[in-house]
Amino acid sequence: MTAPLRHDPDCIFCKIIGGQIPSRKVFENEEVFAFHDIHPAAPVHFMVVPKAHIPSLAQATPEDAGLLGRIMLLAPKLALEQGCKPYPDGGFRVVVNTGAEGGQEVHHLHVHVMGGPRPWARG
């Protein structure tokens, strides 16, 4: 069986991770990259993506459980660093659009983190 593709040369987020497309970086370590959304829907809006090219949450496997958990734990830390007020008065929203009917446009798994004073542009 062929190993799943961990990098897709045609993927826009793989190109951002690789530095071929510029982005406003929020955070990076060996397994994840976080950057501001180019069309923010909220005063704070960034995405956390695995460096491995996982097309969507629907393709995540049990081997990805640790990675997904670490992304979830990173979200509140980065949200505070990016200016979201603390829970419970502040907080943030985490969204993972998955598939066409889930509203996914970029097919590289990404976790949206949105926050800041309301009203927001969308939602």
Task: Provide, rounded to whole angstroms, the least separation between the CB of residue 84 and ligand AMP.
Answer: 18
Phi, psi for 32 (deg, rounded to 5): -135, 160
Residue 64 contacts which entry, ligand AMP, Zn ion, none (Cβ below 5-8 A, type-dependent): none
**Which residue in 51, 108, 110, 112 binds Zn ion (CB under 5 A)?**
108
Q: Could you tell me which of 77, 24, 27, 19 has the C-alpha nearest to residue 49?
A: 27
110 included as an active-site residue? yes
Please give the helix or strand (H or E) that residue 78 lies within, else none. Answer: helix 65-81
- What is the rounded CA–CA span in Å between residue 118 and residue 17? 30
- 82 is a contact residue toward ligand AMP (CB under 6 A): no
The helix/strand/coil state of 104 is: coil
Residues at the site binding Zn ion, with contacts judged by CB under 5 A:
8, 11, 13-14, 53, 108
Which are the catalytic amino acids?
Answer: 110
Residues at the site binding ligand AMP, with contacts judged by CB under 6 A:
12, 21, 23, 37-39, 97, 103-106
